[in-house]
Structure 1
Amino acid sequence: MKPSIGRIISLLSREIAMELKDVVEPFGITVGEELYFMTLAHEDGITQDRLTELVSVDKSATARAVKALENKGLIRRNIDQKDKRNKKLYLTKAGHEIYPELSKALVSFNEKLTSAWTDEQYNQVYHSLEILQQRFQK
């Protein structure tokens, strides 16, 4: 029987989350909020529904994360002028202020995480994980 890929990914996910906590906490966000914040930093002005699609979670999880980031003053909701039923999400001034340093900290964390790999190994693992992720996107 082949070793379980799902099990190793699950274990790694928990271990990475524990380490990532130390990286993101100084910026006033949680590991769970980091993905939403960084997605908005790259896709400023999207709707909450679009954010849900981009991070591949359910709407209630997105709503909780958006509310938490909004309460922390890192994002804001504005009514979409083209469609008043929609609200668009934007980083606030405070969000834009922490983004550069948070981004650097995350890059450093990723480099530390993958430092034992050659570029070829990194690309192989990344490509394999992308293929696996795409199976869940369908």
Structure 2
Amino acid sequence: MSTKLPAQRSLGRQVRASHRGFDRLLNARLTPLGLKSGFWYYLRALWEEDGVTQKRLSDLTNVTEATTVSLINDMVEAGLVTREREPDDRRKLRISLTEKGRALEEQLMSHAIDINVIASKGIPRDELETCLSVLIRMTANLNLELQEGEG
């Protein structure tokens, strides 16, 4: 068995290349609005689950807490979110959308839908469903491996 894996056959490389394409196109749509592409992941998470702790937001976005702190600082400055200490545990910070942050949902989701349409052009629906299913299971496998390695 060969230990060589051609780049075109690497699942990780293909997922990364696809993600970079999504990210670049999203960034091209967000920049004219004065938004950083990193904001998207946090806004998306908060549109689904608002008023979460900073730790929970890191978990929802699969981003390190240090990166989350930095981006949340920028989002507070941009008027998109507020950060308040938990009354019962002052160590925890709760992140909530502002009116401005909430108001972006429809416009930004429209861009996300457009980008998904562009990415899936010419690909049959059943193949897209298979792709989604496979990616979800691969993510679960990788997360399980990480958890078992930590335990």
Common fold by TM > 0.5: yes
Return the offset for 1:55: 1.3
Asked if the contact 2:22/2:115 (under 8 Å) is kept, the reply is no
Tell me the TM-score normalized by structure 1: 0.89
Map of 1:55 onto structure 2: 61
Out of 73, 78, 85, the residue aligned to residue 84 of structure 2 is 78
Map of 1:94 onto structure 2: 100
Asked if the contact 2:26/2:37 (under 8 Å) is kept, the reply is yes
CA distance in 1, matches of 2:35, 2:67: 15
Q: Which runs of 5+ in 2 are unaligned?
A: 145-151
Return the offset for 1:124: 0.3
Q: Runs in 1 of length 4+ with deviation above 4 angstroms?
A: none
| Deviates most, 67-76 or 1-10 | 1-10
Map of 2:39 onto structure 1: 33
Q: Which runs of 5+ in 1 are unaligned?
A: none
Matches within 5 A, 1:1-138: 3-138=9-144
Asked if the contact 1:27/1:98 (under 8 Å) is kept, the reply is no
CA distance in 1, matches of 2:63, 2:104: 24
Identity of aligned residues (%): 22
If you compute each CA radius of gyration, which structure gives the higher value, 1 or 2?
A: 2
Aligned length: 138
Asked if the contact 1:47/1:88 (under 8 Å) is kept, the reply is yes
| Deviates most, 42-51 or 104-113 | 104-113
> What is the RMSD computed on CA atoms of the aligned residues?
1.7
Tell me the TM-score normalized by structure 2: 0.82
Which amino acid in structure 1 is aligned with residue 115 of structure 2?
F
